[in-house]
């Protein structure tokens, strides 16, 4: 069997603590390890403030210290880890293009670099004009200099094909775990009852339609609750507007990362509210479908491809309220949507399928690269 080596860049590190890319890298590293790969993952931050190495579950971790916080610190980490990665054997998998200018370096060194291009980051409303221009430029640089581009959604692949040849692009969506049962106990601490609430998990940003969803739900008494997860600070104007629009039936339990609690929320939810307007295959949406959640989603090509007939779609607060009026009084429709969510997830978004697709792509398009590797 050929021996392959892979270095993963672009994430904060593993084991995954938060974030879709971190979770994906966590699963992929273990999947490849079990198939005789050597995997290295760069991790942001070092407790000793020096470059250091450790091993986690057979995965080599390289910890890179940074002096700055926030976006500047992330750029510093990306620069340092990319320069260091040029010395490592094997291929590179870069997750995201936010520092796409760095992808020129492995290309010049003749190192195979696969880039998961993530979503249309430069279109996100939260960014300033200057930040959008920076991201737009980095998308172009990554698209041109990466050896292979990976899109997690057909619409992203179509977009990338306007930048480079479609022959250079592979489409592999995001995956998640199946949730077939979940202890309802964590719900009590949140003031929730199984089957008596809806769930919304998203960053509190305008492009995620959270205000429209909260307005729609709060348009009249519902007899159930809406759990809106995430950090909400009334000092931020948008977040304050969301909270001001909320009826007494909307709860804000904060950001929750505990897996048993998240599994319980998803499994026992009547439906999942998904307002994302920009992006590819969204991890939160796929995770909800893996728990058999019916989906009430913003109407766009991204969400329609992922959820399909498991979803019903809205364009604004008025149409969202109308959907809630109908669906909350139609348990048979919700049941059918939930069954379709499981079916769609089984067919397209389970981790073994996704991770094996990555392995096959890396082995087919990459090259054995450790000393003594052979086919």
Note the pLDDT tens digit of each residue in 71-96.
Answer: 889 999 999 999 999 999 999 999 99
pLDDT at 222 over 90: yes
Strand partners, 350: 176
pLDDT score recorded for residue 369: 58
Q: How far apart (Å, rounded) are the C-alpha atoms in residues 193 and 141?
A: 49
Question: What does the pLDDT read at residue 372?
Answer: 46
Residues in CB range of 292: below 8 A, 6 or more apart: 179, 267, 338, 339, 341, 342
Element (H, E) at 346: helix 331-348
pTM for this entry:
0.90
Structure confidence at residue 234 as a pLDDT band (50, 70, 90): confident
Give yes or no for residue 227 having a pLDDT over 60: yes
Give the residue-averaged pLDDT of 338-362: 97
CA distances from 75 to 67, 72, 80, 297, 359 (A): 11, 5, 9, 33, 28
Write down the pLDDT at residue 371.
Answer: 52
* Sequence-ordered list of residues with C-beta below 8 angstroms from that of 371, at least 6 positions apart, any chain: 89
Residues 237 and 260 sit within 8 Å (Cβ to Cβ): no
Separation of alpha carbons 7 and 199, rounded Å: 36
Q: Identify which has the larger pLDDT, 303 or 16.
A: 303
Supply angle C-alpha 183, 189, 190, rounded to 5: 95
pLDDT band at residue 370 under the 50/70/90 scheme: low
* 164-214 pLDDT per residue, tens: 999 999 999 999 999 999 999 999 999 999 999 999 999 999 999 999 999
Please provide the DSSP assignment of 162-203 as one string: TTS-GGGEEE----B-------SHHHHHTT--TTSEEEEE--
pLDDT of 2 higher than 50: no
How many beta carbons lie within 10 A of that of residue 373, not counting itself?
Answer: 15
What's the confidence (pLDDT) of residue 78? 95
The confidence score (pLDDT) of residue 1 equals 43
Task: State the pLDDT at residue 320.
Answer: 98
Residue 211 confidence (pLDDT): 97
Average pLDDT score over residue span 299-325: 97
Per-residue pLDDT of 94-139, as tens digits, reads 999 889 999 999 999 999 999 998 877 766 777 788 888 888 888 8
* Position 225 confidence tier, pLDDT thresholds 50, 70, 90: very high
Backbone angles phi, psi at 90, to 5 degrees: 90, -160
Query: How many CB atoms sit inside 10 A of residue 18's CB?
Result: 9
- Residue 375: pLDDT band (50, 70, 90) is very low
pLDDT of 317 > 60? The answer is yes
The mean pLDDT of 258-272, rounded to a whole number, is 95
Read off the pLDDT of each residue in 261-282 and give the average, rounded to a whole number: 94
């Amino acid at each position: 069997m050929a021996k392959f080596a892979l270095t993963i860049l672009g994430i904060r590190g593993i084991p995954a603590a938060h974030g879709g890319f971190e979770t994906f890298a966590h699963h992929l590293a273990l999947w490849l390890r079990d198939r005789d790969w050597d995997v290295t993952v760069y991790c942001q931050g070092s407790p000793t403030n020096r470059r250091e190495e450790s091993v986690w579950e057979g995965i080599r971790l390289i910890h890179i210290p940074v002096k700055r916080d926030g976006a500047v610190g992330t750029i510093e980490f990306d620069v340092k880890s990319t320069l260091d990665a040029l010395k490592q054997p094997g291929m590179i998998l870069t997750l995201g293009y936010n520092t796409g200018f760095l992808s020129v370096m492995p290309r010049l060194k003749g190192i195979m670099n696969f880039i998961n291009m993530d979503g249309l980051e430069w279109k996100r409303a939260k960014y300033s004009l200057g930040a959008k221009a920076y991201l737009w430029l980095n998308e172009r640089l990554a698209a041109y200099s990466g050896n292979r581009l990976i899109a997690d959604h057909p619409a992203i692949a179509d977009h990338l094909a306007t930048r480079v040849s479609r022959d250079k692009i592979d489409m592999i969506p995001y995956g998640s775990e199946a949730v077939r049962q979940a202890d309802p106990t964590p719900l009590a601490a949140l003031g929730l009852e199984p089957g008596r609430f809806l769930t919304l998990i998203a960053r509190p940003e305008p492009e995620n339609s959270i205000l429209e969803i909260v307005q729609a739900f709060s348009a009249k008494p519902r007899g159930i609750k809406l759990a809106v997860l995430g950090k909400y600070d009334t000092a931020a104007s948008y977040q304050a507007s969301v909270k001001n629009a909320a009826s007494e039936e909307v709860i804000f339990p904060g950001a929750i990362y505990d897996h048993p609690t998240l599994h319980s929320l998803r499994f026992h939810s009547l439906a999942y509210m998904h307002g994302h307007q920009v992006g590819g295959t969204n991890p939160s949406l796929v995770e909800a479908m893996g728990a058999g959640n019916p989906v009430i989603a913003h109407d766009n090509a991204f969400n329609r491809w992922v959820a399909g007939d498991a979803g019903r779609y809205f364009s604004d607060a008025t149409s969202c309220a109308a959907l809630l009026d109908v669906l909350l009084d139609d348990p048979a429709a919700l049941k059918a949507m939930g069954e379709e969510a499981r079916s769609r997830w089984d067919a397209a978004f389970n981790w073994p399928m996704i991770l094996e697709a990555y392995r096959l792509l890396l082995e087919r398009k990459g090259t054995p690269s450790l000393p003594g590797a052979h086919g």
